[in-house]
Amino acid sequence: MADVTIRAADGGSFSAYLATPKSGKGPGILVIQEIFGVNKVMRETADAFAANGYVAMCPDLFWRQEPGVQITDKSEAEWKKAFALMQGFDQAKGVEDMKATVAALRKHQACTGKVGSVGYCLGGRLAYLMATRSDTDANVGYYAVNLPDILGEAKNIKKPLLLHIAEKDQFVPPEAQAKIKDALKGNTLATVYSYPGADHAFARIGGQHYDKKSADQANQRTAEFLKKNLGA
């Protein structure tokens, strides 16, 4: 487990946390950060994927604003910084950085060549964009934020997409959830699950709204989805 350097398509470079499986070989997983950077939670998430046989890589998507951000959800000051970073985030360049990370994963000696993405919060939105704008083999989004404004891209989905929605998500109101479900209901490549009573970040261990029952169910569905589509 170590940080590696990825070359950006438009120049410069950024870091990514890399975790590899003990077996020495496996499909790749692009782990897409929340708004708190590549922090302890995201690194442990990558480690967990590696423990399950994947080559996991979590890129620093805020590097253009401030490289190496690693904050938590434990203080008001950190929340303010996290929201400021999200507001300043260039989504289009972020997608290009994720594509560069996927390319690096595919070339990594431990990777079988197949690569999927799994994202949380902001990363959930970005996982959706990887499904519509990249050649990743499968994509998973947990409690994705601000999807209604990009649902028109659903027609571009060519590989399986799995979304986990928290029914009590304070950042994704019921009307937004309904729009997501309505936009994807006719798409045979998209699967959407809702979790009654669960709030945003229900799968973040140690978080204020961690819900073990919902998290376990969502993670099991993710594991089965990735195994089916990536072959781990």
Is 60 noted as a catalytic residue in this protein? no
In three-state secondary structure terms, 105 is helix
The whole-angstrom separation of Cα 28 and Cα 37 is 20
Distance of CA 126 to the CA centre of its chain: 7
CA torsion 159→139→16→11, rounded to 10°? 40
The whole-angstrom separation of Cα 227 and Cα 54 is 10
The whole-angstrom separation of Cα 186 and Cα 202 is 27
The residue from 60, 164, 199, 200 that is catalytic is: 200
Is 200 noted as a catalytic residue in this protein? yes
Kindly give the interhelix angle for 122-133 and 91-107, rounded to the nearest 10 degrees. Answer: 70
The residue from 169, 199, 209, 211 that is catalytic is: 169
Residues designated as active site:
169, 200
